[in-house]
Structure 1
Amino acid sequence: MNSSNRIIVNTGILYGQLLIQLVLGLITTRFVLKALGEVDYGIYMLVAGIVTMLSVVNSSMINTSMRYIAYCLGQGDIGVVKKMFNTTLYIHIIVGVFVILLMEIGGWIMFEYVLNIPADKIFEAKIVYQFMVITTFISIISVPYDAVMNAHEHILILSIIDILGFILNLLLAIYLLYADKFLLIQYGFCMFLIQVLLRFVKQQISKKKYEECRLDFKKEIDRTLIKEILTFTGWNLFGMIAALFVGQLRGIFLNFFFGVKLNAAEGLGKQVNAAINKLSTGITKAITPQLNKSEGAGNREYVLKITNTGIKYTTLMFALVAIPFILECRYFLSLWLGEVPIYTVIFCQIILLQQLVDKFTWQIGNAIRAVGIIRNYQLAEGCLFLLGIPIGWSVLYISGKPISIFIVELIIFFLVSGIRIFYGKKIVGLDISIFIKSTICPILFPMLLAFALAYIVHLLPIEDVARVFAVFSVFVGVFSLLFYCWGMSKEEKFFLRNMIVNCVLRK
């Protein structure tokens, strides 16, 4: 199967997975919120936010491992891939121990001096945190196995395992509806067991399926690679820490000023964003291994081509659902949750808008990482994100309005987009004028026009269900039509027509 067809097949698999996960995830969240209640759910999301913030090292290592293993596969030398796998696994074990120490120290500081949690819930929150710490360690040492599976682009296997996880989460949520004691601890413990099971399954499959996953630390570790990998990880980590701290410290700041109820609202906003964002991350997951392999094979022209194409279609897929959802956010949240926590609607809307801005340049960052020259880029982007922390605190302190910190983050996302475009030109060879003309404008103008028409429909005094249906129909129909006319290249239109014809003929 050639590269283009593989991307299409894997994207289709990921969207099938997404549909199942989206339905299961929405049902699960409603059941969990109903079972735990607003306070316990807010505490869980707050503690999970701390773990996410302190385990950012794991995320950086995932990106690094995937980049280097896919890059080596692109070179076509299995011996090099074996050395890369064993070297990255060795590094992950060491990093895992370091992260546990960091999380224990950071967690103690947070619980003792920062977090605003009801006194009768402190013990339960600490227990849940420990489950999350152990889960994080297991995740870290399992990363190289996931990286190999992703690099080989065996997306179907990963999708089946991930769907299994969502089914188990739903069963857990149903169980919580009938449990009566220590619900927060039970939820944390069962989530820990589910993650351990999924990691074990992925690891065993990788060991049996891929030759490079056979351990041999004595012969296969390349110590000259350790410095290179750690340097790349360090700069990638700096950028990720900066971006993550802005988002996670937002939750802590809201907790400090307003209490745990706003953490529930923010947590729901992040879950909505995560669910809708999966509409576009499917394309990103399918494209990223090809980026790294193509750069490893020295094919920079193809790297630029799929970067621009990836931006267009990830933005398209996200916007098709996110913008109508922003317009009808209150209706959908009421339908989903029943009783909507205060500020949830506006938090969801702004978080989705931030994500939409990010989509226009996100793939450029992946292209820069594929090339591997990331120091100056990550330094510039990271410093810009970090600037949002004192500004966010200040606007909350001065204004006393929760929404103010979200506005600050939105402005930062616009500035970060400019940073990515600048370094995309400098490092990858991105032509800015062509990028704006062939990538940004063909998606932005149809989107704005479709939004204007959908907003007019949103204002009409008609019954809720009919209005929501009309808003989605108008936006999706107008946006899709205008994108086909202005946003798709001749090659893309030809491919789409052939795909439709083939589907019709098969029937």
Structure 2
Amino acid sequence: MEQADTKRIARNTVFLYLRTAFSILVSLYTARVILNALGIEDFGIYNAVGGMIATFALLNAGMTSCIQRYLTLGLGKSDMMEQSRIFRTSINIMLIISLVTVVFAESIGLWFLNHKMVFPADSFSTINWVYQFSVVTFVLGVLSIPYNAALTAHEHFDKFAYIGIFEVILKLAIALTISFLDSNRLVIYAVLVMLAAFCVRYIYAAYCTRHFEECKYSFILDIPLLKKMFAFSLWNFLGSSSYILKTNGINILINLFFGVTLNAAIGVASQITNAACSLAGNFTTAIHPQITKAFARADYATMNKLAYMEARYSFLLLYAIGFPLIVGMPAVLSLWLGEYPEYAVSFSRLIILNIIIDTMATPLVVIMLAVGKIALYQIWISSILLLNVPLSYLCFKYTGNPESAYMISILLSLIAFISRFPLLKRFIQFPFGAFARNVFPRIAMTVLISSFTVIGIQQTGILSPDDLGNILLIISAIVLGCLSIIFFGMNRQERIFLFDTLRRKLPF
């Protein structure tokens, strides 16, 4: 792996981390303002309706990875004509998908919303307005996909960061606005979120059109490329759908069995876990184009090294954030929200554990998408993950335990992770042994040492169970997690690089 590639990954990661650190601080405060302004019931309604709309993301989730793959491969080959054809074709596909989404949302989705989901009897008029505005918001997101993919493929992560910061400021302004309103807060909130989505979509389109030659749209009908991209995306759609149903399917089932109060708990848990995941996800976002470009150059040694690095560091970065949150989740929610919905603590902990497991599989997915032979891969992995919905249904019906859905999700994620290796070996001879040696031992040492140390602190009773004791416990978990990562999760060369960088950058 060339030093220039490593520096580019580091630079892109820094930009994304600065953006995300700001976004998290603003987003967490925004969530508190929204929860207080809407109340638990309306907050739960919005998350339940949002879960419905996210289910329609099945129609376009496969295309997101598809467009990123084709644009990045085109950049790796330095073929401007091919990039232009890919971008224009992707815009046409997104227009088709938007139309299909609206048809499904206004037929099956609307029927399911009004006849199957559980809401307060006097709120259906409001819910339908929120649903319609949410559909428009979703369509705007669909139309932004080619432009987001172009920014990622070109690795313009500084601009990506600036637009992201602008977006969270808009959301904060929305939250503050509705807190001053006396009525119709939920509907007005949905309208303002839709307008914010339009602004962000316009900025992405304007920047890409101005700076990337291939993003200047004009209508073309490239039937061979259209068929090729659709064939790839249909198989990728199957894989993407399993992840969507694994999360939003649970949200809908919980609404059907337990009502909107637990949807509010999921909404709170999602805010926490999304914040943690976005920090760790910055590294993966920065490294994915490099993996795909290495494959396009047939530089498989670099591709494999990048995959080992991403699996280990994405786990460690997320663990550094997730471990203190898991340990001190009740205190975190109390400090953040004051009062919080029932099950918010357990949902948050289980979702974080699930994400930590899933993050190790991300480079394997990227390699498989780069190879392009995804039919058998997606059938097998999706079949495993889609079991989450029927198994959760059975658990809800016979045990009445809402936490069981996330326990099942964790188990299925472990099974899916292990199942990816024989499939990768079949198509690209991916070295599982080298992956295991480079990833698992350091991860295991980090987790065991930090976890047992914190458990020891809790068992001794040194820290009191009051607010001060909880804060000290969280600080202890942060320190122990970081020290474990530095001394057990990193190798000697990486520690030297880290300390040298800190000495150069810090003013003392």
Query: Fold match, TM over 0.5?
Result: yes
Q: CA deviation at 1:490?
A: 4.5
**CA 1:272–1:482 in 2, change beyond 3 Å: closer, same or farther?**
closer
Q: Does 1:389 align with 2:412?
A: no
1-structure distance, mates of 2:222, 2:5? 30
Q: Does 1:448 align with 2:444?
A: no
Aligned to 1:377: 377
Tell me the percent identity: 27
Aligned to 2:421: 421
Q: 1:19-55 deviations in whole A, cap 9, x for unaligned? A: 1011100100000000000100000000001111112
Q: Does 1:12 align with 2:1?
A: no
2-structure distance, mates of 1:51, 1:233? 20
Aligned to 1:326: 326
Aligned to 1:354: 354
Q: 1:373-413 deviations in whole A, cap 9, x for unaligned? A: 21111111111112221111011100112112221112111
Amino acid at match of 1:369: L
2:49 to 41, 47, 50: 47
2-structure distance, mates of 1:204, 1:182? 33
Q: CA deviation at 1:248?
A: 1.1
State whether residues 242 and 385 of structure 2, in contact with CA within 8 Å, keep that contact through their aligned partners in structure 1.
yes
> Which shifted more, 133-142 or 189-198?
133-142
Secondary structure of the corresponding residue to residue 387 of structure 2 = helix
**CA 1:430–1:483 in 2, change beyond 3 Å: closer, same or farther?**
farther
Q: CA deviation at 1:487?
A: 3.1
**CA 1:333–1:306 in 2, change beyond 3 Å: closer, same or farther?**
same
State whether residues 327 and 458 of structure 1, in contact with CA within 8 Å, keep that contact through their aligned partners in structure 2.
no
Aligned to 1:177: 179
Q: CA deviation at 1:194?
A: 0.3
Q: What does residue range 158-237 of structure 1 map to in structure 2 within 5 Å? A: 158-218=160-220, 221-237=221-237
1-structure distance, mates of 2:471, 2:36? 28
State whether residues 242 and 386 of structure 2, in contact with CA within 8 Å, keep that contact through their aligned partners in structure 1.
yes
> Which shifted more, 471-480 or 392-401?
471-480
Aligned to 1:477: 479
1:26 to 25, 28, 35: 28
Q: CA deviation at 1:463?
A: 5.3
Q: 1:112-136 deviations in whole A, cap 9, x for unaligned? A: 3310011211111111111111122
Aligned to 2:145: 143
State whether residues 384 and 416 of structure 2, in contact with CA within 8 Å, keep that contact through their aligned partners in structure 1.
yes
State whether residues 20 and 279 of structure 2, in contact with CA within 8 Å, keep that contact through their aligned partners in structure 1.
yes
2-structure distance, mates of 1:376, 1:77? 30
State whether residues 272 and 348 of structure 2, in contact with CA within 8 Å, keep that contact through their aligned partners in structure 1.
yes
1-structure distance, mates of 2:107, 2:96? 17
Amino acid at match of 2:446: P
Aligned to 1:79: 81
2-structure distance, mates of 1:410, 1:168? 34
Secondary structure of the corresponding residue to residue 342 of structure 2 = coil
Structure 2 residues without counterparts, runs of 5 or longer:
none
Amino acid at match of 2:372: G
What is the TM-score normalised by the length of structure 1?
0.95
State whether residues 235 and 375 of structure 1, in contact with CA within 8 Å, keep that contact through their aligned partners in structure 2.
yes
State whether residues 262 and 343 of structure 1, in contact with CA within 8 Å, keep that contact through their aligned partners in structure 2.
yes
Q: Does 1:502 align with 2:504?
A: yes
> Which shifted more, 428-437 or 234-243?
428-437
Amino acid at match of 1:145: Y
Aligned to 1:240: 240
Aligned to 2:306: 306
Amino acid at match of 2:501: M
Amino acid at match of 1:259: G
Equivalent pairs, count: 504
1-structure distance, mates of 2:448, 2:159? 38
Aligned to 1:38: 40
2:67 to 65, 69, 94: 65
Amino acid at match of 1:201: I
Q: CA deviation at 1:229?
A: 0.8
State whether residues 131 and 188 of structure 1, in contact with CA within 8 Å, keep that contact through their aligned partners in structure 2.
yes
**CA 1:375–1:352 in 2, change beyond 3 Å: closer, same or farther?**
same
State whether residues 361 and 421 of structure 1, in contact with CA within 8 Å, keep that contact through their aligned partners in structure 2.
no
Secondary structure of the corresponding residue to residue 339 of structure 2 = coil
2-structure distance, mates of 1:480, 1:182? 46
State whether residues 45 and 263 of structure 2, in contact with CA within 8 Å, keep that contact through their aligned partners in structure 1.
yes
State whether residues 64 and 145 of structure 2, in contact with CA within 8 Å, keep that contact through their aligned partners in structure 1.
yes
What is the TM-score normalised by the length of structure 2?
0.95
Q: Does 1:295 align with 2:322?
A: no
2-structure distance, mates of 1:412, 1:198? 36
Aligned to 1:269: 269
- RMSD of equivalent CA atoms: 1.7
2:130 to 114, 128, 151: 128
Aligned to 1:406: 406
